[in-house]
């Protein structure tokens, strides 16, 4: 692992996107959101995807400078067709609209179809939480998850994010896939030549697999097999709960926007699928005084972290705490990247004749 100063890394990635024809504002937003994933210790959704972005843009499957089409609008809600635009920057702008609407009317909702990968869902919910609001964000993905008692994938990793503020900058920030892991975790195993741990996925025979190469290929071509739902295989450990949550995400993202869902959402060999998103913000004062809410939230979080840890564990966390601490380290010490990801970024930049700065590359000491 190496660490790269965050602002330098964001600037380089933005210039790569601009060299691919993406307008500067969209490029800046996209670079910021992708870098945030690595900064928070979530490399599965970060800059390891830069090559798939470049390929998708070159093929015209991901488009810059696109004005989304408004399909329906009410005082509280907006339904958009993204027309294949950059999912990262479009999602940021859509969450800004949702927050502005909630600030005026108490609640704002937006669902979007025909978009592209939007990075980490928690980025958007935390935008709302920092404005004394509760934020909710979801996206569907290509069919990668296997329903309970099935052997074929029928839904995506379909993440759900939820964020709420406490005092002194504390945030409860849940950002979770509805499958046991995301495909990005399998891709990391493939890049690093490691086997898939037990309980992550099943092969096309419906039985546990440890081979990331064959799994990724089988999922791409829908040959059978895929990621297990949150809760794991069968019903004994609650796999049907993750399965149900994944279908719920398809309902809120795709059915509300008239977009694609289930096996109709398919990746290509070079880039990610066209997908659907859902965003919501609720102003806290429609429920109670925000100061009282944040005081109680901070108290709840403090009580969780004060619990005695299990034997062999160092401490108790709440959702978002580890990511926040990782981001604080990244802001000071640099964003940690694997050597392979950094080489991919540099080679992509050089292909596009984007100069790569000669800033110091520091060994990873972040613990991420």
Do β-strands 77-81 and 107-115 pair in parallel, antiparallel, or remain unpaired?
parallel
215: confidence class by pLDDT, cuts 50, 70, 90:
very high
Q: In degrees to the nearest 10, what's the CA dihedral of 161, 87, 243, 42?
A: -60
User: HSE (CB half, 13 Å, CA atoms) of 255?
Assistant: 7
Beta-bridged to residue 174, according to DSSP, are: 162
- For residues 263 and 352, membership in a common domain is answered with no
164: domain CATH number is 3.30.1370.60
pLDDT digits (tens, 9 = 90+) for 331-368: 999 999 998 999 999 999 999 999 998 766 565 544 44
Over pLDDT 90: what percentage of the chain? 86
Within a domain: 350: yes
Q: Is residue 301 part of a domain?
A: no
CA dist 205 and 215 (Å) reads 11
Q: What is the DSSP string of 70-88?
A: EEEE-SSEEEEE-TTB-HH
Which of 255, 286, 317 is the last residue in one of the domains?
286
Q: Are residues 51 and 71 in the same domain?
A: no
Query: pLDDT tens digits, residue range 316-331?
Result: 999 999 999 999 999 9
226 and 357, same domain (yes or no): no
The verdict on 130 and 214 lying in the same domain is: yes
Residue 360: the pLDDT is 62
Residue 11 lies in a domain: yes
Residue 182 has pLDDT above 50, yes or no: yes
Whole-number Å distance between alpha carbons of 251 and 139: 10
Average of per-residue pLDDT across 245-258: 98
pLDDT (average), residues 152-179: 96
Domain boundary among the residues 254, 286, 318 is at 286
Q: Which residue has the tokens 């920092």?
A: 130
Decide if 28 contacts 15 (C-beta within 8 A).
no
Same domain (yes/no): 215, 330:
no
The pLDDT assigned to 366 comes to: 47
Q: How far apart are CA 313 and CA 310, in angstroms?
A: 5
CB 316 within 8 A of CB 309: yes
- CATH assignment at residue 361: 1.10.1530.10
pLDDT digits (tens, 9 = 90+) for 27-59: 999 999 999 999 999 998 999 999 999 999 999
Give domain status of residue 294, yes or no: no
- Compare 234 and 141 and report the one with higher pLDDT: 141
Containing H/E element for 279?
strand 275-283
Whether 50 and 75 share a structural domain:
no
pLDDT of residue 368: 45
Higher pLDDT, 65 or 269: 65
Q: Compute the residue count for the chain.
A: 368
Average pLDDT for residues 248-275, to the nearest whole number? Answer: 93
Distance CA 269, CA 45 (A): 18
Distance CA 141, CA 271 (A): 12
Domain that holds residue 52: 1-58+306-368
Pseudo-torsion of CA 163, 165, 169, 173, nearest 10°? -20
Residues 223 and 177 in one domain: yes
For residues 122 and 193, membership in a common domain is answered with yes
- The CA distances from residue 159 to 103, 244, 284, in Å, are 25, 12, 23
Q: Which helix (H) or strand (E) holds 6?
A: helix 6-19
Task: Tell me, yes or no, whether 206 and 102 share the same domain.
Answer: yes
Number of domains the chain contains: 2
At 220 the pLDDT is: 87
Provide the whole-model pTM. 0.93
């Amino acid at each position: 692992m190496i660490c790269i100063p965050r602002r330098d890394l964001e600037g380089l990635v933005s210039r790569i996107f601009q060299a691919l024809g993406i307008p500067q504002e969209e490029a800046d937003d996209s670079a910021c959101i992708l870098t945030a994933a690595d900064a928070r210790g979530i490399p599965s959704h970060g800059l390891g995807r830069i090559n798939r972005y470049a390929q998708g843009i070159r093929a015209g499957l991901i488009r810059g400078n696109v004005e989304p089409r408004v399909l329906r609008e009410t005082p509280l809600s907006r339904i958009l067709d993204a027309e294949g635009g950059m999912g990262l920057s479009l999602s940021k702008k859509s969450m800004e609209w949702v927050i502005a609407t909630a600030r005026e009317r108490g609640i704002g909702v937006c669902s979007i179809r025909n978009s592209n990968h939007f990075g980490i869902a928690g980025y958007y919910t935390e935008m709302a939480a920092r404005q004394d609001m509760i934020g909710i964000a979801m996206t569907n993905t290509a069919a990668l998850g296997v329903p309970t008692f099935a052997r074929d994938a029928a839904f995506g990793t379909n993440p759900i994010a939820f964020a709420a503020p406490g005092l002194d900058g504390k945030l409860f920030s849940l950002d979770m896939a509805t499958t046991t892991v995301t495909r990005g975790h399998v891709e990391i195993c493939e890049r690093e030549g490691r086997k898939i741990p037990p309980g992550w996925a099943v092969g096309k025979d419906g039985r546990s697999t440890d081979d990331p190469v064959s799994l990724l290929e089988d999922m791409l071509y829908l040959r059978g097999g895929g990621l297990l739902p949150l809760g794991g295989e069968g019903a004994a450990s609650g796999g049907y709960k993750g399965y149900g949550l994944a279908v719920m995400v398809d309902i809120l993202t795709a059915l509300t926007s008239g977009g694609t869902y289930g096996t109709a959402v398919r990746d290509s060999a070079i880039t990610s699928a066209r997908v659907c998103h859902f965003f919501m913000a609720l102003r806290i004062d429609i429920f109670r005084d925000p100061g009282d809410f944040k005081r109680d939230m901070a108290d709840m979080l403090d009580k969780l972290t004060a619990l005695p840890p299990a034997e062999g564990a160092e401490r108790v966390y709440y959702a978002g705490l580890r990511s926040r601490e990782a981001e604080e380290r990244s802001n000071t010490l640099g964003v940690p990247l694997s050597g392979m990801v950094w080489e991919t970024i540099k080679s992509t930049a050089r292909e596009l004749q984007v100069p790569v700065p000669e800033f110091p590359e520091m060994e990873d000491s972040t613990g991420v």
